[in-house]
């Protein structure tokens, strides 16, 4: 009986230590994300940086930067199944060839609602003249497709997910592994309501609270078992 009690006590204590450590780990993660958020906010508060290096560009996620180059208006993509303010529509993705470089950045020029006319795409034409754009750098996340996309080679191409490798092949362009979210004050764009960087700080804090609550419940159960064993 005593051996079984010690085994149970050991398991409870070990589990308590694990739950508590997981809670503090989530708090540490929240602090890390908060530090990143402050760093990005401070960087975006100053002058918008002009970027010419592709390597430098790839290391600037969530930063606001300026790029110089030219749009490729005949190689655009329609990013379908998007929701903005509870309205369904699509994003317009336009390649932007960087000046002095062999690579291109896919620029998200904003949202357009379908308005019940899925067979008719809005006028998204854009000139290929040299331009300077201000964008927020974003790393594309390939979402799960419920069914395979029926992609045609006729531009603008309708896509259900961001696969930059596949899109590079289709457009015969070498895309940088980032997407530029066109700033609201820039020209040649549509509806742009980009979410600021949050880093899921609240989510990490929520997870920490859950782990601590589980540890508290387990501690209460362990205390009740200990008191019961003492009475026996």
Model confidence pLDDT, tens digit, residues 37-69: 777 676 666 666 777 777 777 777 788 888 999
Which two structure tokens, joined as six digits, stand for 133?
């754009």
Which two structure tokens, joined as six digits, stand for 68?
């110089």
Long-range (24+ apart) CB contacts under 8 A made by 213-219 are 214/19, 215/16, 215/19, 215/20, 215/23, 218/12, 218/15, 218/16, 218/19, 219/16
Model pLDDT, residue 200: 74
pLDDT band at 108 (very low <50, low <70, confident <90, very high): very high
Model pLDDT, residue 111: 96
CA atoms within 13 A on the CB side of 7: 4
Euclidean distance between CA atoms 83 and 113, whole angstroms? 9
Model pLDDT, residue 148: 46
Query: How many CB atoms within 10 Å of residue 142?
Result: 11
- Lowest-pLDDT range of 49-58, 106-115, 172-181: 49-58
The pLDDT tens digits of the residues spanning 6-33 come to 777 788 888 888 999 999 999 998 888 8
Higher pLDDT, 80 or 42: 80
Residue 75 has pLDDT above 90, yes or no: yes
- Lowest-pLDDT range of 79-88, 110-119, 208-217: 110-119
Helix (H) or strand (E) holding 229: helix 201-231
The pLDDT tens digits of the residues spanning 137-159 come to 888 876 555 454 455 568 899 99
The average confidence (pLDDT) of the chain is 83
Query: What φ, ψ does residue 103 adopt, rounded to 5°?
Result: -105, 165
pTM of the model: 0.70
CB burial readout 211-230, b (16+ within 10 A) else e: bbebbeebbeebeeeeeeee
- Contact predicate 202/84, CB 8 Å: no
Cis peptide leading into 156, omega within 30 of 0?
yes
């Amino acid at each position: 009986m005593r051996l079984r009690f010690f085994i149970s006590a050991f398991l409870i204590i070990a589990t308590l230590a694990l739950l508590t450590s997981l809670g503090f780990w989530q708090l540490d993660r929240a602090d890390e994300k908060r530090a990143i958020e402050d760093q990005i906010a401070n960087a975006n508060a100053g002058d918008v940086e002009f970027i010419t290096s592709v390597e430098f560009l790839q290391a600037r996620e969530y930063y606001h930067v300026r790029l110089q180059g030219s749009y490729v208006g005949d190689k655009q993509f329609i990013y379908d199944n998007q929701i903005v303010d509870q309205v369904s529509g699509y994003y317009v993705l336009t390649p932007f060839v960087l000046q002095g470089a062999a690579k291109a950045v896919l620029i998200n020029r904003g949202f357009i609602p379908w308005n019940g006319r899925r067979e008719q795409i809005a006028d998204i034409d854009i000139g290929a003249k040299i331009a300077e754009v201000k964008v927020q750098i974003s790393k594309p996340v390939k979402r799960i497709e419920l069914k395979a996309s029926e992609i045609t080679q006729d531009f603008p191409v309708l896509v259900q997910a961001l696969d930059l490798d596949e899109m590079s092949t289709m457009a015969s362009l070498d895309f940088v592994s980032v997407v530029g979210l066109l700033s609201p004050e820039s020209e040649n764009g549509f509806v742009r309501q980009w979410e600021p960087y949050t880093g899921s700080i609240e989510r990490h804090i929520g997870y920490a609270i859950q782990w601590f609550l589980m540890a508290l419940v387990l501690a209460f159960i362990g205390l009740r078992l200990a008191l019961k064993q003492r009475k026996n």
